[in-house]
Chains A and B, each alone.
Chain A
Amino acid sequence: MKEKLVLIGNGMAGMRTIEELLKLGSDLYDITVFGAEPHGNYNRIMLSPVLSGETQFDDIVLNKREWYAEHGITLHAGRKIGKIDRVRRQVVAEDGTTAPYDRLLIATGSRPFILPVPGHELPGVVGFRDIADVQTMLDTAGSHRHAVVIGGGLLGLEAAVGLAKRGMKVRVVHLSDTLMDRQLDAAAGALLRQELEGRGVEFLMGAKTKEIIGRQRVQGVLFEDGREISADLVVMAAGIRPDMELARSAGIHCERGIVVNDTMQTYDPRIYAVGECVQHRGQTYGLVAPLFEQAKVCANHLAKFGIGRYQGSVTSTKLKVSGVDVFSAGDFLGGPESEQIVYRDPGAGIYKKVVLKDNRIQGAVLYGNTLDGAWYFQLMRDGADVSAFRDQLLFGQAHLGDAGHGGNSPVAMMADSAEVCGCNGITKGAIVEAIRAKGLFTLDEVRAHTKASASCGGCTGLVEQILASVVGSDASQGERTRPMCPCTEHSHDEVREAIRARHLTSMEQTMHELDWHTPDGCPSCRPALNFYLLSTWPTETKDDSASRFVNERLHANIQKDRSYTVVPRIWGGVTTPAELRAIADAAEKYNVPMVKITGGQRIDLVGVQKEQLPAMWADLNAAGMVSGHAYGKALRTVKTCIGSQFCRFGTQDSVQMGIDLEKFSWGSWTPHKFKMAVSGCPRNCAEATIKDFGVVAVDSGWELHVGGNGGVKVRVTDLLCRVNTSAEVLEYCGAFMQLYREQAHYLERTAPWIERVGLDYVKKQMVDDDANRTALYQRFVESQRIAQNDPWAERTGEARRAEFMPLTVTNVGRVSAA
């Protein structure tokens, strides 16, 4: 028999939990839902547009009654629970309905805080919480004239603008001198006030309400300073309070909210709580994004996976008043420890402030132009170092040029027809449409419905930004905490740390220890895990070829017609007539359709059949050549210029330096492909400043540059440091590659990795700290001891060759079915 799950509270957080539970495919429970309101559940954050007439109630319904029936859920709408009987394990509604539970979920939300002043119970005094409140306001607006909104916060202002639009004369009463002082600083608050005054809303600032006057119904409001204004409607928007009376009366521990742990359980482990009614690690939340994160964790625990942990949320706010753009996130006031960068253009009604600490964004307030809100929020959540572009930070992402946004384009500026996901040909417009029409809230949902970011993942950051710009305060997680794939709850960093700390050396062990949901992972996590295991424990881990993408398994690059490419290593871009002859011979012998000079100073034999690969490799091996790893997340090429041997401008022997670097580093696996170049003088003919590791000779030695990229988004390298000798170049190269191997996420190029952790961090690790650099270098050398085997030579023997051949039918005919 199924266990019984009862939900108290048919609102957004509770129902989101149920939906997440159903999505996990869990049929563990018979589910019963009690809601005090007589409807299916609806999108409470959209009440403001209903009040202002921009949308209808029907449009904000999330689940109609039929939905509950279709999913076998018993809905008691309009039945308010009056008592939780923890001894009998049942809930009792005010109308006497009872329901037994094995697990109980409390999602009673919050209540508007009604000032306990005389007259607060008069007809005409309402909160702004549910559709009934909205109906009361609309009815009053039809027959009366004067509205007073107590509270100039987010909710109060939305109510005020809505009522003004409905033709009422609205006055907003606010205790502090700044509107929305929980979200805005004084400057932004003043701009907002100006704008709203232009729309006919009046403000009484610094006003403390003493009494609400009236006989049959509200007639006016009296203030402490003796002022009095007339009112036919008083909207109490002075804040919300977690609704925890029911829980408290059942003896469940409550403080400012119902206290829950990281799996959303109350002190009674059979009873969970989510949403605005809970207090988690001392915090209460009133925005949708954290509630959804809680819902996900709670559903996960109810489904008995027991792996999700809620760790609190970073939130951002947007005011939902059309035509007024306000964005706020994090610590927007700043303190003595932090710095503020401010942009102010009162004429255009634009104000932007970003608060920084150690070159990382702590918070932001934007007024008038909020295009970059999602971008700042992402930089904040990711803890990104902005020192490289802080002088341009406030001009926005669009002004950053092509460099410096980790592969992301400014999404808000993109046209609807612009392609976001190149792999699947999905435009921004299609994604926005899907998010709106299907009510998508998370990256995984967008992936499933649009395929955007579902293939190579290169546009993940873009898709997240689109999500954030459409949904506002979005429910997705930052890079640091986002699970690496749907097989697990753990982020890349958590998985790496566990592999290191728990000394995990096999895929099976890792998936078991970290509670993978799937029996053997997926094409996203398996290659990543294989790399993390190999790079962490190079001498103990066995490479898992079944978890390698075809290119790395077959050591050749697959093409669209199922043929492959063969690229021998040409050390430092220097070859010999004998090598060229061997390559030409191979090209003729195997009828290679195309012989192509690559951008990395090598020769690409394109269009080779799989069966031919081992024989061709053997021929090239015989001429002294090895695999160029042109197919791998590995060291690719070291491009060089002619250098001081011949060039009249050359200051150092860049060719020899390039050959030495390539002989030293070839064969190493890296999180993504890794390219190098060495230029013999600052003219930089080898284009070293768009490589992952670029070396430029100067008279006195070598400049070392890191984090360049010549791909989708061109990024010029950052100067790491200057060294004197070739030996130092090798040492710094090894240390840098090892730091990248140990710390970047799988499939993260050096450019976005450095933008994420900051150049200063890299310098601290390997330039300033000599001992750490030596240790990194030694770990790289140790790993190279294992890694430097030519994969071609390993596969040309008889036994291995067979793997490249098809199986053959050995027996045709009738075999009796045993």
Chain B
Amino acid sequence: MNDWITIGKLEDIPPQGARVVQTAAGEIAVFRARSDAVFALANRCPHKGGPLSEGIVFDHHVACPLHNWKISLESGEAMAPDQGCARRYAVRVESGTVQLNLNI
């Protein structure tokens, strides 16, 4: 049983960038890495709540625009020596459309 919701096309997200989507689970940032891999995290930095969607995306990481914490897009974990974690959400690209699943 999968509850995938469609939020747009892959092209809607700039490469090495992100877009935000409002969901029942709150504001989620959907990232597109240079490799076109997509990731979804709660759009709040574990440090001081900065909008991760506005950070610079590099490899599979994003740097929070407020204080430059570096967050792994894969795990949501802050890069050492910082500690903290942004919630991860399941995301996939199905025939060009980006889909989120808030239940897994």
Q: Hey, which bits of chain A sit against chain B, CB under 8 A?
A: 423-424, 448-449, 451, 454-456, 518-523, 526-527, 545-550, 553-554, 558, 560, 562, 803, 806-818
Q: Known contacts A448-B81, A806-B20: does B58 contact A526 (CB below 8 Å)? A: yes
B55 in the interface (beta carbon within 8 A): yes
Q: Hey, which chain B residues are within 8 Å of A547, CB to CB?
A: 16, 56
The answer to whether B82 touches A809 (Cβ under 8 A) is: no
The answer to whether A806 touches B58 (Cβ under 8 A) is: no
Please give me the residue from chain A that is nearest to B34 by CB atom: A520
Q: Known contacts A806-B22, A809-B7, A812-B5: does B56 contact A546 (CB below 8 Å)? A: yes
Q: Hey, which chain B residues are within 8 Å of A808, CB to CB?
A: 7-8, 21-22
B36 in the interface (beta carbon within 8 A): no
Please give me the residue from chain A that is nearest to B27 by CB atom: A806
Q: Known contacts A806-B22, A809-B23: does B16 contact A560 (CB below 8 Å)? A: no
Residue from the list A423, A456, A519, A816 in contact with B59, Cβ < 8 A: A519
Residue from the list A456, A518, A815 in contact with B6, Cβ < 8 A: A815
A435, chain B: closest CB distance, angstroms: 15
The answer to whether B65 touches A815 (Cβ under 8 A) is: no
The answer to whether B57 touches A546 (Cβ under 8 A) is: yes
State the CA gap A548–B54 with chains docked (Å): 10
Size category, B interface: 35 or more
Between-chain CB contacts (< 8 Å), 10 pairs: A451-B81, A546-B15, A546-B56, A547-B56, A558-B65, A806-B21, A806-B27, A807-B7, A808-B8, A815-B2
B86 in the interface (beta carbon within 8 A): no
State the CA gap A522–B12 with chains docked (Å): 23
Residue from the list A451, A518, A526, A558 in contact with B66, Cβ < 8 A: A558
Residue from the list A448, A518, A549, A554 in contact with B80, Cβ < 8 A: A448
State the CA gap A472–B94 with chains docked (Å): 59
B19 in the interface (beta carbon within 8 A): yes
State the CA gap A545–B95 with chains docked (Å): 27
A387, chain B: closest CB distance, angstroms: 36
State the CA gap A562–B20 with chains docked (Å): 13
Q: Hey, which chain B residues are within 8 Å of A523, CB to CB?
A: 55-56, 58, 63, 68, 70
A486, chain B: closest CB distance, angstroms: 12
Please give me the residue from chain B that is nearest to A548 by CB atom: B56
The answer to whether A562 touches B51 (Cβ under 8 A) is: yes
The answer to whether A521 touches B58 (Cβ under 8 A) is: yes
Q: Hey, which chain A residues are within 8 Å of B81, CB to CB?
A: 448-449, 451
The answer to whether A807 touches B58 (Cβ under 8 A) is: no
Q: Known contacts A554-B54, A815-B2: does B15 contact A560 (CB below 8 Å)? A: no
State the CA gap A806–B5 with chains docked (Å): 15
Q: Known contacts A812-B5, A815-B6, A817-B4: does B59 contact A455 (CB below 8 Å)? A: no
Q: Hey, which chain B residues are within 8 Å of A809, CB to CB?
A: 5-7, 21-23
A558, chain B: closest CB distance, angstroms: 6
Please give me the residue from chain A that is nearest to B17 by CB atom: A546
Please give me the residue from chain A that is nearest to B99 by CB atom: A815
B16, chain A: closest CB distance, angstroms: 4
State the CA gap A813–B30 with chains docked (Å): 19
Known: A520-B59, A809-B6. 10 other contacts (CB 8 A): A448-B81, A451-B81, A451-B82, A456-B68, A546-B16, A550-B55, A553-B54, A558-B51, A807-B20, A817-B2
What secondary structure prevails in chain A residues at the interface with B? loop
Q: Hey, which chain B residues are within 8 Å of A810, CB to CB?
A: 6-8
Q: Which of A522, A806, A812 is most buried by chain B, counting CB atoms within 10 A of its CB?
A: A806
Q: Known contacts A423-B67, A806-B22, A814-B2: does B51 contact A519 (CB below 8 Å)? A: no
State the CA gap A137–B7 with chains docked (Å): 77
The answer to whether A807 touches B12 (Cβ under 8 A) is: yes
A295, chain B: closest CB distance, angstroms: 23
Q: Hey, which chain A residues are within 8 Å of B2, CB to CB?
A: 814-817
Q: Hey, which chain B residues are within 8 Å of A526, CB to CB?
A: 56, 58
Please give me the residue from chain A that is nearest to B69 by CB atom: A455
10 smallest CB-CB distances across A and B, nearest first, come from A546-B16, A523-B63, A811-B6, A550-B54, A550-B65, A523-B56, A807-B21, A815-B4, A806-B20, A807-B8
B102, chain A: closest CB distance, angstroms: 10
Please give me the residue from chain B that is nearest to A559 by CB atom: B66
State the CA gap A818–B82 with chains docked (Å): 39
Q: Which of A454, A523, A816 is most buried by chain B, counting CB atoms within 10 A of its CB?
A: A523
State the CA gap A815–B100 with chains docked (Å): 11
Residues of chain B from 52 to 80 with CB closer than 8 A to chain A in the complex: 54-59, 63, 65-68, 70, 80
State the CA gap A521–B48 with chains docked (Å): 25
Q: Hey, which chain A residues are within 8 Å of B80, CB to CB?
A: 448
B99, chain A: closest CB distance, angstroms: 6
A65, chain B: closest CB distance, angstroms: 27
Q: Hey, which chain A residues are within 8 Å of B59, CB to CB?
A: 518-520
Q: Hey, which chain B residues are within 8 Å of A455, CB to CB?
A: 67-68
The answer to whether A814 touches B3 (Cβ under 8 A) is: yes
State the CA gap A520–B67 with chains docked (Å): 21
Q: Hey, which chain B residues are within 8 Å of A550, CB to CB?
A: 54-55, 65
A451, chain B: closest CB distance, angstroms: 6
B50 in the interface (beta carbon within 8 A): yes
Please give me the residue from chain B that is nearest to A456 by CB atom: B68
State the CA gap A448–B14 with chains docked (Å): 31
State the CA gap A448–B79 with chains docked (Å): 10
State the CA gap A816–B51 with chains docked (Å): 32
Q: Hey, which chain A residues are within 8 Å of B8, CB to CB?
A: 807-808, 810
A474, chain B: closest CB distance, angstroms: 21
Q: Hey, which chain A residues are within 8 Å of B51, CB to CB?
A: 558, 562
Residue from the list B4, B66, B70 in contact with A814, Cβ < 8 A: B4
Q: Chain B 8-50 against A: per-residue CB contact (8 Å), 1 yes, 0 no? A: 1000101111011111000100100011000000000000101
A348, chain B: closest CB distance, angstroms: 43
Please give me the residue from chain A that is nearest to B94 by CB atom: A818
State the CA gap A806–B51 with chains docked (Å): 13
A467, chain B: closest CB distance, angstroms: 17
Q: Hey, which chain A residues are within 8 Å of B22, CB to CB?
A: 806, 808-809
State the CA gap A170–B102 with chains docked (Å): 79
State the CA gap A620–B68 with chains docked (Å): 32
A609, chain B: closest CB distance, angstroms: 12
Please give me the residue from chain B that is nearest to A454 by CB atom: B68
